Amino acid sequence: MIEARHLTKTFRDKKRGEIRAADDISFRVEPGQIYGLLGANGAGKTTTLRLLATLLQPTSGSATIAGFDVVRDAQQVRANVGFLAASTALYGRLTAREMIAYFGQLNGLSDADIRARTKRIADELDMHEFLDRRCEKFSTGMKQKTSLARTLIHDPAVMIFDEPTLGLDVMTARAIVKFVRECRNRGKTVIYSTHVMSEVEKLCDTIGIIHDGKLLAEGTLAGLRAAHGEQDMEEIFVKIVGGDDAP
């Protein structure tokens, strides 16, 4: 389970002063659910996810992942979390198989477990064609699949996806979305951050709409449609964040 309680992160800027990138955010995600964090670029999605993944420390508030506090128990949180961002950083001279194995070793897996899990993930993501090629030669889609595989190798209970389909072709994006759905079906707790309305409608059990660092609305797709008198997710989003003139 993921639980954020009044999670806040502020930064200091010489020109703009204090910036609240995440402002008093609270929500909860149960196992077997996908929580969609929907917002425009700069809304605070990535900051919130980095706080949950222990990549940043909160200014105030708290969060727990699988019962572990993100500040006090950071190592245990990392052992239970897979974090995938749109920007991938792979070692170009390693093959995809070597990249995945390296992260398996970092997480204490045996060689036998790494081999078995690599095969299963490569089957699911259709990676066998490039599994033994160097990452420096990869397309964007191949890089993203390799990043997803290394994120999953230790079979984390919690998955955090930050704009995972950004810049991908249609078929690769569909494969990623399908895999996210399968994570839910296997009982994983999933947060999915995006600004793509159609992905939210296809995937998410609960949707949180974030704007200027604040969580402005939360609910199921059906609940948000009923509350705002709109069927189209884009129209609902625009209403909530302040209309067509909102930045």
Could you tell me if residue 120 is inside a domain? Answer: no
Q: Report whether 148 contacts 172 (CB < 8 A).
A: no
Q: For the chain, how many structural domains are there in total?
A: 1
Could you tell me if residue 218 is inside a domain? Answer: yes
- In DSSP notation, 186-234 reads TT-EEEEEES-HHHHHHH-SEEEEEETTEEEEEE-HHHHHHHHT-SSHH
Q: Report whether 97 contacts 131 (CB < 8 A).
A: yes
Mean pLDDT for the stretch of residues 230-237? 92
Query: Mean pLDDT across the chain, nearest whole number?
Result: 91
Q: Confidence band (pLDDT; 50, 70, 90) for 159?
A: very high
What pLDDT does residue 166 have? Answer: 84
Could you tell me if residue 151 is inside a domain? Answer: no
Q: How far is CA 163 from CA 44, 100, 108, 112, in A?
A: 13, 21, 28, 32
What pLDDT does residue 247 have? Answer: 44
Token pair of 8 as six digits: 């806040």
Could you tell me if residue 115 is inside a domain? Answer: no
Query: Which phi and psi angles does 51 have, rounded to 5°?
Result: -65, -45
Amino acid identity of residue 238, one-letter, is V
What pLDDT does residue 245 have? Answer: 53
Residues in the chain: 247
Predicted model pTM: 0.88
What pLDDT does residue 242 have? Answer: 83
Could you tell me if residue 212 is inside a domain? Answer: yes
Secondary structure of residue 162 in the 3-state scheme? strand
Domain that holds residue 205: 2-88+158-241
Amino acid identity of residue 203, one-letter, is L
Could you tell me if residue 106 is inside a domain? Answer: no
Could you tell me if residue 100 is inside a domain? Answer: no
pLDDT tens-digit readout, 57-78 = 999 999 999 999 999 999 999 9
pLDDT at 28 over 90: yes
pLDDT at 243 over 80: no
Could you tell me if residue 124 is inside a domain? Answer: no
pLDDT tens-digit readout, 206-216 = 999 999 999 99
CATH code: domain of residue 174: 3.40.50.300
